[in-house]
Structure 1
């Protein structure tokens, strides 16, 4: 293997990838810091009326567009004060699934695009569709399970929180960027290099033969796609993306296989991700037993919605 092959097959694609990752991460963090998604929260009031949810739920829904911790704290305080029953707390927490997704969607999109290109739009679109389906389900559940209520004043609660100014947003963006880019770099570069050499020396062909003989449950995915799932579950989402990007740029997989592998990795990694990232801060807001119930309900609904859109995409995409 000569230097020309290394540069064109590994060096230049990796440099280009890291540049666009950095650019996308900066843009996504800036959108989050400026709270531009907050305007969407204005739809909360009519939706809460349809779902028979109280104004505190609508206010929490609105708050979740820019602070999940604050949104959950509002629900916990209302529950402790007797303003929300156990059933209302559960439904209200599930109701926040869509704004919580919107909060992180800019960063998700701008990180995935440099890795997997147009497949990012498909993947993010499907996960967004799953979030909308969860919200529709919760609206229907609330309308069936809860009695009608007098409408409250959700916009009144929104006025308590002003938008972040540009100077503060830029400082926040740079701090988040430095923290995230270090972590992404530590994961991306070693994986990209490893995938290049594994592919060049026939590791995936050997893995495909082994899986074909011993594993049937995931036989609908090629062996290369299963490596995305493994990295997604064993490490984290960025590791799965780095693997997917290397395989996509190398021509080993198409957009459809990449998207299905990422969706599968998303589903299989949900329990571990919930315990590592969600439980610590949930247990600090709600009682531990209550936190576990809320997380279990959230993850179950989330997994079911992703499986549904994944199955539809598998047969229709």
Structure 2
């Protein structure tokens, strides 16, 4: 949908493609989830935990976090209360459990945004995965016990594997909820951004931005960042539109997504992570765990963003 093509037919065509891509991606993601997809990441979890040399309960908690971060946190809190692990080990276990939680959180939007953004989405997800792995390695390096055997990874396995019919029913039901969210949130944002572009708002904003900053902080980049408030799928749909119109490059999309991710980190922590952690861990430990986790994530994201901006400016 190019500029000056803000028509009903263009909107319907673009919206139809978005709904199709989201539906296919969501169905695949939900089927994989219902079929116990956590076994696929054991090749990452195993070496990380062997490096940590933490008590065995930390390995069990790490595997459980791929299904439920709350259950994993409760395991650590109980082990600390029983004296089986130290406070430091509880902190390390809880902070590194953010990796499985982040992996699970990325799973659904991953298969939705890849059809929209292609290699750009793959690069963004790869950067996020590398950031999480580096964060885990850094935290594990502070808690290694040389006198302990390597920690084993214990994948939490569901008691019964659902049949394919049950998996399909689960997937269709979950996909319906995702499509409803797309219709209520993603599409209105997409249409609003398209309307602003048709009215020349971005061209007017571009004139007010210094020329030497336009390659990094263009109006289109700001629009992608703003749409991230509606979720990763929302920003991906806006980025896909602008990329096909030739208004942003692959690198600019990555910069926008990384910058938006940093902006949403504190809001996500306050809305989701902090209330749960305060209810699981003793005293103020929950607040410290969330604070350290999100600060590390922010710093690593900032470093990755700085590298991307440097590449954009230099090349």
Bin of the TM-score, shorter chain as denominator length:
0.7 to 0.9
User: How has the CA–CA distance of structure 1 residues 149 and 221 changed in structure 2, closer, same or farther, with 3 Å as cutoff?
Assistant: same
Q: What TM-score, normalized by structure 2, do the two folds share?
A: 0.86
Q: How does 1:124-139 map to 2 (within 5 A)?
A: 124-139=125-140
Gaps of 5+ in 2: none
User: How has the CA–CA distance of structure 1 residues 7 and 294 changed in structure 2, closer, same or farther, with 3 Å as cutoff?
Assistant: same
Q: Which has the higher contact order (CA 8 A, sep 6+)?
A: 2
Count of residues paired in the alignment: 309
User: How has the CA–CA distance of structure 1 residues 239 and 5 changed in structure 2, closer, same or farther, with 3 Å as cutoff?
Assistant: closer
Q: What TM-score, normalized by structure 1, do the two folds share?
A: 0.85
Match of 1:164 in 2: 161
In structure 1, what is the Cα distance between the partners aligned to 2:216 and 2:13? Answer: 33
Q: SS at 1:66's partner residue?
A: coil
Measured against aligned partners, the alpha-carbon deviations of 1:34-65 in whole angstroms (never above 9, x if no partner) come to 22223533765664343231100011111122
- Kindly indicate whether the alpha-carbon contact (under 8 Å) linking 1:78 and 1:84 is maintained by their aligned counterparts in 2: yes
In structure 1, what is the Cα distance between the partners aligned to 2:279 and 2:294? Answer: 18
Q: CA RMSD in A?
A: 2.9
Residue 174 of structure 2 is aligned to residue 176 of structure 1: yes
Measured against aligned partners, the alpha-carbon deviations of 1:224-267 in whole angstroms (never above 9, x if no partner) come to 1012222324x443433333233223322111111110000001
User: How has the CA–CA distance of structure 1 residues 226 and 288 changed in structure 2, closer, same or farther, with 3 Å as cutoff?
Assistant: farther
In structure 2, what is the Cα distance between the partners aligned to 1:274 and 1:8? Answer: 40
In structure 1, what is the Cα distance between the partners aligned to 2:175 and 2:186? Answer: 15
In structure 2, what is the Cα distance between the partners aligned to 1:160 and 1:198? Answer: 49
Q: SS at 2:251's partner residue?
A: helix
In structure 2, what is the Cα distance between the partners aligned to 1:249 and 1:83? Answer: 56
User: How has the CA–CA distance of structure 1 residues 50 and 192 changed in structure 2, closer, same or farther, with 3 Å as cutoff?
Assistant: closer
Match of 1:310 in 2: 305
Match of 2:68 in 1: 67
In structure 2, what is the Cα distance between the partners aligned to 1:292 and 1:8? Answer: 50
Gaps of 5+ in 1: none
User: How has the CA–CA distance of structure 1 residues 45 and 37 changed in structure 2, closer, same or farther, with 3 Å as cutoff?
Assistant: closer
Q: How does 1:71-86 map to 2 (within 5 A)?
A: 71-86=72-87
Measured against aligned partners, the alpha-carbon deviations of 1:192-227 in whole angstroms (never above 9, x if no partner) come to 2112221121100112233449xx999832121012
